[in-house]
Structure 1
Amino acid sequence: MFLNCHSYFSFKYGTMSIQQLIKEAQSNELKTFALTDINCTAGVFPFLQEMKKEHMHPVIGIDFRNGTQQQYIGLARNHHGFFSLNQHLSFYKKKKKPFQDRAPEWPHCAVIYPFPKDYFPLRNGEYLGLAPSQIKKALLSKWKDQKEKWVLLQPVTFCSQLSFNIHRLLRSMDLNTLLSKLPVSEQGQNTDRFTSKKELLKKCDGAEWLLENTLDLLYGCNFYQGYLPVENRKEIIGSEVEDYRKLRDETFKGALKRYGQLSEIQIQRIHKELDIIQQKNFVSYFLINFDLVTYARKKGFYYVGRGSGANSMVAYCLYITDVDPLELDLYFERFINLYRKNPPDFDIDFSWKDRDEIIEYIFNKYNSPENEHVCLLATHTTFQMNLAIRELGKVFGMPKTDIEALIQYAVQPGKYIPDKLGKLVLKYGQLIQGMPSHLSIHAGGILISQHPIHYYTATEIPPKGYPISHFDMVVAEEIGFSKFDILSQRGLGHIRDTLEIIQENQGKTIDIHQVATFKQDTKIKEHLRKGRTIGAFYVESPAMRVLLAKLKTQEYLELVAASSIIRPGVARSGMMREYVYRHRTPSERKKRANPVLYELMPETYGIMVYQEDVIKVAHHFAGLSFDEADILRRGMSGKFRSREEFERVKESFFKKSKAKGRGDNITREVWHQIESFAGYSFAKGHSASFAVESYQSLFLKAHYPLEFMVGVINNFGGFYRTEFYIHELRMNGADVQPPHINESNYLTKIVGKTVYLGFIHLKYLQKEIAEAILRQREVGGPFSSINDLINRVHISLEQLLILIRIDAFRFLPKSKQALLWEAHFILHKQNNRKPSPQLFGQVQYKDLKIPSLEQNDPREDILDQLDILEFPLAPPFLLLKNPDIPTIKAQDFKKFINRQVQIIGYLVTAKFTRTIKMETMIFGTFLDKEGDWIDTVHFPPVVKSHPLTGKGVYLLKGKITEEFDVCSLEVKYCERMAYWNAAAS
């Protein structure tokens, strides 16, 4: 009876979740209804699953609309009908065209047109949809002779007045208008709700035949008729037999390259993996990944295969990953096992410069001329509280300052007291929090389907240029799609570019894949032991540097563990500190560990560090089956949907632990460790993959520090701002120069030990100007003067002043002030004039008589750098109004342990976090006057009384503390110091 129902996947229109929609239908004793979201199919598979669970008859379709104007509704009579609807919607989404008034002729679909429409004869499978109030009018129209084609069209979008209010707010957001100005034409009607059959009959004035027509149509639709089950792309080589033979042959070919002569253990492991891969129908999945990395290697692209796929020896032999699972005792069952229902996936990272070409290769190779088989995976961007408050504040017409104050209040209530309107915003913010707002692109997921992708989802083309699905990763996994994760990572760009820079600057070719050699490199060991890892992939954050120093990390396996215990799950449970203690105190390891856990995890001293440990402990400690243990493991990731299933396994964990004779206290302690992993734990193979890339970065940092830092700077990726990578350059002996009109490129370059910053770092310089300068320099040689530049480059006075202020003309024998005078004289009232060929050469200007100018203060250069580069190239301490305040040095901290000190530090970064009491505390990082790092801790009372107030130099007072030979400053007082004021001097 209800052919036109909307969930909240009718973005910024619908208000109910799939579960809520079904619950509302059940409360009205309905056994069937149609989900027809507006121009979207994101909710289809969750709807089918929930309806099946509730023993209801599901019908799916699409409400095709131009804006809010309903053109027609399409219902899928079977799976082929769903394909037709998806194809139709995708075509119009791709072309960005409005839907026409008539739908195509679809043999496997029913089409319902809303009344009133201009009369046209209805084709086979087409119906006229009537609201109860339209029946009498229809009986007097030209449609009266086609009553057998009439169906009841009672839309469902709301379940209450509150639901309708939310709808109006969402519509206002979508139209970017005030709620008071929302047109009625852009809203649904408050009566668009489920009602009982009895109430419908009453509304229809006894026209029971209309309801019967509608029910007949609903029960005539069966999605599973002609259903094509989800199948990932298969038969890559020809047949499944040939595919398996190809996989086996390539695996053994790669194994001989990796290991040389194969041992019996290695051969057995390969055969075991191949057998499981074949049984689980993952042969083609491995072959496609092998194809991608083979293509990448041919193109010279750097990549890292990571995640639980690193547990596979087959993947290692196919060069999908560079982690040897035998060396690390990684068991394949974490990746694929016969109990595991959900498909596995490889995460393959490429440089951000190469990733798009890999994606293009996939679309070109695995699509067919007739149908699309490939799409990117979508995510559903949901309303988070901050966004909800911001959007609702606009809708209610609140001033920006009030909106920001309200956002702050929602995070941490303080002195601000919301007014009536503010309370309303908070109320509705909580109600829409978690609702999907729109489709976005998954970080790297790609689906490759055996059948055309439109059998499962409509697609649309975002600005990226490749079609994306409507459902998300969780749904893809639940229905059986294996996704290919093709990810972008700037760390690989650092490595790739550094190798090119080393070749250009030193003429050396480096083989970056000699990871076994790197693991024994004494320079790398020293960098790890001392936490000197700025710029190195995954190990450069303040927390990681401190952890490495506390562990005195020197070995590969120690770095693998560090990559995982730094994660919030382990750290939050208190086990990170315990791990460091046991690592540094071998005699205490066994004493402090539970005997069962120590026996299971001797390598990590009886502490759970990796996702595999969850499976180990759940199986061996509690006696859970492997499939139950895997549910626990999945429950720790962000990908899990069924909390009910997770809670059942939790109950089983305690019950079976007791049956095995485990004490209640130890069981609770072990469960606390497991629970602390929630959403954060790494697979050991994942950590191992990260560690390999860290070693590659560290080799370059240790042996070619200047080229490496230039590579990091040119990729604009890393934990720190560009200025701190420039600081590292200086600390390693580089002569760092501001942009130079005749030496700099668009990106930063190095010549010997001299580094010229690129024009890209000049905040206000237009890219076209930089490109024109480089073009003219290549054609006509270096610039000899400002006059020469103006004659050859179309440049405005404003753009020229940027170059002068940053000292890009420092090769000229004139002061910066004199050059500024000259620029103003030449270009005064000639902004944007175009250079033109001169009959007798360049336009020459007579020598200017510059008035006597005061000598330039070097501090003014620093101020110019702060304005144009947004960071200083000279130490910022030179700018202090009072530079002579006494200060100790960071390198002397050990002399002052447990003593009160005073130190001046330049703020690098601050990490805000919450205590158990939900109070704000800060972990800070500063540089001292010598350029050494200072790590600070600011507890909540200090954060309140002496907050950090932005970038700058701070006077810090507090106590030096030490833990595991690493010192930090527990701040009791901090104040941002005043800078010198040029105008006041």
Structure 2
Amino acid sequence: MFINTHTYYSLRYGTLAIKELLQLAQDHGIKTLAVTDINTTSACLDIVRVAPEFGIRPVVGVDFRNSARQQFIMLARNNEGFLNINRYLSGFLHNDEIIPDRAEVLPHTYVIYPFGSYKGDKLLEHEYIGVRKEDLNRLKFSSLKKRPEKLLVLQTVTYNSKKGFNTHRLLRAIDNNTLLSKLPLSEQGNEYDQLCSEESLKEAFAEFPELIQNTENLLESCRIEFDFTKETPNNQNSYTNNEALDYKLLKKLTYEGLPYRYETPTDAILDRIKKELDIIKEKGFVSYFLINWKILKYARSKGYFYVGRGSGANSIVAYLLRITDVDPIELDLYFERFINLYRKNPPDFDIDFSWADRDDITEFMFRRFKNTALLTVYNTFKHKASIRELGKVFGLPKEELDKLSKGEYDFRRLDKLSQLVVMYSKRIQGFPNYLGIHAGGILISEKPIHYYTATFMPPKGFPTTQFDMVVAEDIGLYKFDILSQRGLAKIKDTVEIVKYNQPTLPPIDIHDIKRFKEDERIKYMLSNAKAIGCFYVESPAMRMLLKKLQVDNYLGLVAASSVIRPGVSQSGMMREYILRYRFPERRKEAHPVMMDIMPETYGVMVYQEDVIKVAHYFGGLTLGEADMLRRGMSGKFRSREEFLKVKDRFFDNCKASGKPDDLTSEIWRQIESFAGYAFAKGHSASYAVESYQSLFLKAYYPLEYMVATVNNGGGFYRPELYVHEARMHGARILAPCVNYSRAETVIQGKDIYLGFMFLHQLESRVIKKILEKRSKEGYFMSLDDFLDRIPISMEQISILIKIDAFRFTKRNKRELLWEAHMKINKTTFDENIQTLFKTEKISFKTPELPSTQLEEAFDEMELIGFPLSDPFKLLLAPSRSKMRAKHLPDYVGKIITIEGYLVTVKNTATSNGKRMHFGTFLDRDGDFIDTVHFPPVAAQYRFRGKGIYGITGKVMEEFDCITIEVTKMVRYPIIEDPRYADNDTRVRVHSKRYKNKA
């Protein structure tokens, strides 16, 4: 009886979650339900999967609307009809087209037009008119009364209560970006669009029993079926269009890869290959491996750097196909994490490319493989966004919104409107807000993508599904992860920069990982955490972990890459791992069973494989159940019944085998806090390979590596720190110059010229014109020469002059600014007019206008965001404190005061939700100071932006790692900006600040 039902995937319209809707239907005794969300099929597969659990037979379709105006409803009679509806809807979404009044004829579908808005005079066999309860009086006087066989009961379902209707109106106001009081009736649904019992509907339509019968017959004729058992993947099932040929090709490529990877393959290697190939074939994953191989073969042909990681990095077949660079034999990678007979989904291959190369890889995949689409993600309403959106709808002032979004209020003391904002923000929190694009997920299916979903076309320009990766996996569609990261671009660019800056050096073999593992410089950098700019090992937390572990080898770094993950540290096992790593006698305290399962990590769960091992050997679960447990811990399936059953079985098995309850509970706690965050060992090993590549470049080509880092947007820190790091390695940092700089930063010997892209508000067309003219006509000889050749506005030339980009003229930039003002129109002009004879220049006598180094620093802060000189020289009252970071080991346990330039802050919370911080500063020598700010101090002494702070606190040492537990912190004031002081003041400040410089 219900042919027009909405979930909250009718974005900013519907209010019912899928299970909430199905539970309501079950409570009303409804046996068949058609879910027809507005211009989307996001909910359809989940409805088909879950509805039988509620005793409901699902029907699916789409409610086609222009904004809130209903044009028609389409229902799928079967899977072919669903395919046709998805294709039809996708056409409108791809081209942003208006939905017409009349639907196109699509096989295996029904079309229902709303009564009163249907303009046609003839209905086709598959077309009907939907009549609402409020239409019944008009129906009695309509010509359609004579055609009862074409009429259906139309009871739209969008919410389930008055509060649900209010929520709907708020969502509509958000969607229309309007005050609730100004929301037009045409943009909202009917208050009575709610679920009711079928008996009440039959009673309302008692005068027209044909409508009831027609509706029941139509719903009965619809049958939609999908297989959610996932016995075989629904990905493209053959690479060569012949599965037997696929396997022969995979086997051939695998053995052809042996000479590249192993000089003399051992029996263990050959046995592992055979074992993997057999299971890959049995599980139907052959084409999955071949497609990944093809993608990366194309990448190598284009010279693209890439890293293959994920659980698939545990596979020797992947290693031989050059999908990954991790040797599973060397690292003793757990085979069952990669694949086992109980596992239904293929192994994960996360393929990282440079951000500059990934789009081309994506285009290649869409060209090469037929049924391809990007995966969507559901961007949901978050707490702060909900507060702000609803606050605007109610017309609250910004100050009130700020207070509410920060949670700085007592609910009982709020006015009525603010209380409503808080109440309804909690109600819509978690609702889908809009569809985005998964970070790297791409589907390649055997059947057309539209067999499963409609697609939309985001700005990226590739068809994108309307369901996410969880739903995709439910139906047996497993994504290919094509990701981008800047670390690879830094490695690639460094190699190129070394070529032009040190052309006499031999070519760099960046893939000689075996040599890197034995390199003494790299060992020193690792154990002393000298890794700023290096992939995955530069963050303050990783820097401190490396010091605590004193890691100087590859395997140690592999472990550290996973130990640093949140779950390990939150469970308390990171500290335990450090203790057992550094103090072998501590290992005796580990439970013998755990030591037997994980001897390499001293009985501590470090990798995802460890969850499977513990669940299997300690908890008595099958490998399939153990893998379900691991996946469930990620949060995607945590609430699902099958996961909860596995959890119960874990405890039951442990009890049956006589394990103490307190031990079982502790092991479960560790699993629960850890599994959703940990890396597979092969994944960590892949990260470690890239870390070693970046460490090698940092060790031997630090200046070139820092230039590449800056040009690729930095890393964990702001660009300023990488500029500082280059200076610490002997570079001379120079502001942009019109004769030597490019858009990106460049290096000449040890001189690093910052790129024009550093200059805030310098237009890209100006940069382009400078580079073009300089390339064709040579260096600029003077400001006049520049103005002759470059069309530029006064605002743009001011940026270049103030950053001292004309310093080659040997003229004071204040004089150049004066001259530019006299010679340039203050409006932008497009192009200089070329004339046969040059116009004689008018000479202006500019006054002497001296500038100081302090003024230079303030110009730099304004234009590039930080000074190129020592920031400590900008303090209003320069301190004579001699305390430095290198002195701190001598003051362990004592209270000291030290000055530090703020680098970064990590905000976190204690177990009871109180805010605390970890700070990173630089001292006057450029060395790091690490601080801990516990909640009382964090509340009293807040960070107040960039600058130099006086830090007072107790020096603490743990595992040779020095930190300061802060008790007091003050941000020191800097001098007044001398550019806006009078001339006498500028000269006075200049002489005072630099009188001792000589």
**TM > 0.5:** yes
Deviates further, 9-18 or 896-905: 896-905
Q: Give me the identity figure in percent.
A: 51
Q: Report the 3-state secondary structure (helix = DSSP H, G, I; strand = E; otherwise coil) of the residue aligned with 1:534.
A: coil
Q: 1:681 offset after TM fit, Å? A: 1.2
Conserved? CA contact 2:607–2:678, under 8 Å: yes
Q: 1:431 & 1:444 partners in 2: Cα distance? A: 31
Q: How does 1:402-421 map to 2 (within 5 A)?
A: 402-409=400-407, 418-421=414-417
User: Are the equivalent residues in 2 in contact too, given 1:491–1:717 (CA < 8 A)?
Assistant: no
Question: What CA distance in whole angstroms lies between the structure 2 residues aligned with 1:230 and 1:514?
Answer: 37
Deviation at 1:328, TM superposition (A): 1.1
Number of the residue aligned with 2:367? 364
- Assess, with a 3 A threshold, how the Cα gap between structure 1 residues 604 and 233 changes in structure 2: closer, same or farther: same
- 2:869 equivalent in structure 1: 874
What is the aligned partner in structure 1 of residue 274 from structure 2? 271
> Which amino acid letter does the alignment assign opposite residue 925 of structure 2?
E
Partner of 1:605: 602
- Tell me how far apart the structure 2 counterparts of residues 226 and 191 of structure 1 sit (CA, whole Å): 36
CA deviations over 1:642-666 (Å, ceiling 9, x no partner): 4433232222212211222212222
Q: Which amino acid aligns with 1:18?
A: I
Distance 2:88 2:523 in 1: 60
2:589 aligned with 1:592: yes
Tell me the alpha carbon deviations over residues 173-216 of structure 1, each in whole angstroms, 9 at most, x when there is no partner.
Answer: 10111111000000000100112122112222432221110010
Q: Could you tell me which residue of structure 2 aligns to residue 441 of structure 1?
A: 437
Instruction: Report the more deviating stretch, 137-146 or 450-459.
Output: 137-146
**2:292 alignment partner in structure 1:** 289
| Structure 2 match to 1:814 | 811
Q: For residue 132 of structure 2, what is the aligned residue in structure 1?
A: 131
Does the CA contact (< 8 Å) of 1:530 and 1:548 recur in 2?
yes
Which residue of 1 is the match for residue 102 of structure 2?
102
Please tell me whether the aligned partners of residues 23 and 54 of structure 2 are also in contact (alpha carbons under 8 angstroms).
no
Q: Would the alpha carbon gap of residues 439 and 833 (structure 1) be closer, same or farther in structure 2, given more than 3 Å must change?
A: closer
Query: What is the Cα deviation at residue 958 of structure 1?
Result: 1.1
1:671 to 665, 668, 683: 668
CA shift for structure 1 position 831: 4.9
* SS of the residue 2:113 aligns to: strand
Alignment partner for residue 716 of structure 2, among 716, 719, 723?
719
DSSP-derived class of the 1:706 partner: helix
Task: Provide the rounded CA distance (Å) in 1 between the counterparts of 2:303 and 2:29.
Answer: 63
Partner Cα separation in structure 1 for residue 247 and residue 826 of structure 2: 75
Which consecutive unaligned segments of at least 5 residues does structure 2 have?
986-998
Residue 875 of structure 1: CA displacement?
A: 1.4
Map of 2:236 onto structure 1: 233
Partner of 1:24: 24
Q: Deviations over 1:842-863 (max 9, x none)?
A: 55231x222233x322111101
- Deviation at residue 885 of structure 1 after TM alignment: 4.1
Alpha carbons 1:959, 1:969 under 8 Å: kept: yes
User: Residues of 2 paired with 1:898 and 1:842: CA distance?
Assistant: 74
- Which residue pairs with 1:560 in the alignment? 558
What CA deviation, in whole Å up to 9, does each residue of 1:75-103 have, x standing for no partner?
00000000110000011111211111111
Equivalent-residue separation in structure 1 for 2:101 and 2:827 (angstroms): 57
1:332 Cα shift?
2.3
Q: In the alignment, which residue of structure 1 is the partner of 2:975? A: 980
What corresponds to 2:541 in structure 1?
A: 543
Return the offset for 1:886. Answer: 1.9
Aligned to 2:201: 200
Instruction: Tell me how far 1:415 sits from its aligned partner.
Output: 11
Helix, strand or coil at the partner of 1:942: helix
The answer to whether the aligner puts 1:454 opposite 2:450 as a matched pair is yes
Summarize the Cα distance change of 1:838–1:274 in structure 2 as closer, same or farther, 3 Å threshold.
same
What SS does the aligned partner of 1:519 have?
A: helix
Q: Quote how far apart the aligned CAs of 1:358 are.
A: 0.5
Mapped to 2, the partners of 1:315 and 1:219 lie a distance apart of 49
Q: How does 1:296-445 map to 2 (within 5 A)?
A: 296-367=299-370, 373-409=371-407, 418-445=414-441
Q: Kindly provide the CA deviation profile for residues 148-170 of structure 1, in whole angstroms up to 9, marking residues without a partner as x.
A: 11111111101000110110010
Matched, 1:775 2:765: no
State whether structure 2 residue 794 is matched by structure 1 residue 791. no
Q: 1:642 to 1:202 in 2, by over 3 A?
A: same
Question: In structure 1, what residue type is equivalent to 2:265?
Answer: L
Give the unaligned 5+ runs of structure 1. Answer: 368-372
In the alignment, what sits opposite 2:2?
A: 2
**In 2, Cα distance between the equivalents of 1:463 and 1:872?**
37
SS in 2 for 1:921: strand
Structure 2: how far apart are the matches of 1:334 and 1:718? 31
* Separation in 1, partners of 2:830, 2:88: 52
Deviations 1:13-44 (CA, angstroms, capped at 9, x unpaired): 00001111111112221101100000000000
Does the CA contact (< 8 Å) of 1:342 and 1:478 recur in 2?
no
CA distance in 2, matches of 1:830, 1:41: 52
Write the letter of the residue equivalent to 2:666: E
Q: 1:413 to 1:144 in 2, by over 3 A?
A: closer
Which residue does the alignment assign to 1:747?
744
Q: Which amino acid aligns with 1:89?
A: L
Contact conserved, 1:405 with 1:416, CA < 8 A, in 2?
no
Opposite residue 263 of structure 1, the aligned amino acid is T
Cα drift, residue 557 of structure 1: 0.7
- Is the Cα contact below 8 Å between 2:148 and 2:210 reproduced in 1? no
What one-letter code is carried by the residue in structure 1 that aligns with 2:605? M
| Secondary structure of residue in 1 paired with 2:470 | helix
Contact 1:384 1:433 in 2 (8 A): yes
Distance verdict in 2 for CA 1:678–1:431, change over 3 Å? farther
Structure-2 separation of matches of 1:536 and 1:776: 36
TM-score of the pair, normalised by structure 2: 0.96
Give 3-state SS (helix, strand or coil) of 2:147's partner. helix
Aligned partner letter, 1:770 = I
Q: CA deviation at 1:829?
A: 4.8
- Kindly report the root-mean-square deviation, in angstroms, between the aligned alpha carbons of the 2 structures: 1.7
In structure 2, do the counterparts of structure 1 residues 225 and 957 end up closer, same or farther at CA, with 3 Å as the change threshold? Answer: closer
**Equivalent residue for 1:370?**
none
Question: Structure 1: which amino acid aligns with 2:375?
Answer: L
Q: Tell me the amino acid that sits aligned with residue 957 of structure 2.
A: E
Report the TM-score, using the length of structure 1 for normalisation: 0.97
**In structure 1, C-alpha distance between the alignment counterparts of 2:460 and 2:25, rounded to whole Å:** 39
* Residue matched to 2:682: 685
Post-superposition offset of 1:887: 4.0
Contact 1:15 1:166 in 2 (8 A): yes
CA contact (8 A) 2:318 2:324 kept: yes
Name the counterpart of 1:37. Answer: 37
Q: Given that residues 923 and 937 in structure 1 are in contact (C-alpha distance below 8 angstroms), is that contact kept between their aligned partners in structure 2?
A: yes
4+ residue runs of structure 1 moved beyond 4 angstroms? Answer: 225-230, 412-417, 828-831
Q: Secondary structure at the match of 2:129?
A: strand
Q: How far apart are 1:414 and its partner, in Å?
A: 7.8
Q: Does 1:251 align with 2:249?
A: no
Q: CA deviation at 1:230?
A: 6.6
Q: For 2:221 and 2:845, how far apart are their aligned partners in 1? A: 93
Whole-Å Cα distance in 1 between the matches of residues 802 and 952 of structure 2? 37
Letter in 2 for 1:799: Q
- CA distance 1:831–1:465, shift in 2 (3 Å): closer
Q: 2:888 aligns with which of 893, 907, 910?
A: 893
Give the conservation status (yes or no) of the 8 Å contact 1:107–1:125.
no
Aligned residue type for 1:708: Y
Q: CA deviation at 1:506?
A: 1.0
- Residue 58 of structure 1: how far off its partner (Å): 0.8
Of 108-117 and 723-732, the range deviating more from structure 2: 108-117
Contact persistence 1:788–1:842 (CA under 8 A): no
1:622 corresponding residue in structure 2: 619
- CA displacement 1:293-339 (0-9 Å, x = unmatched): 11101110000000101111100110000011111111222122111
- Larger displacement relative to structure 2 (99-108 or 81-90): 99-108
- Is it true that 1:942 corresponds to 2:937 in the alignment? yes
8 Å Cα contact 2:580-2:586 kept in structure 1: yes
Matches of 1:68 and 1:833, distance apart in 2: 46
Q: Check conservation: 1:309, 1:346, Cα contact below 8 A.
A: yes
Q: Which moved more, 1:506-515 or 1:280-289?
A: 506-515
Whether 1:644 and 2:617 are equivalent positions in the alignment is no
Larger displacement relative to structure 2 (522-531 or 912-921):
912-921
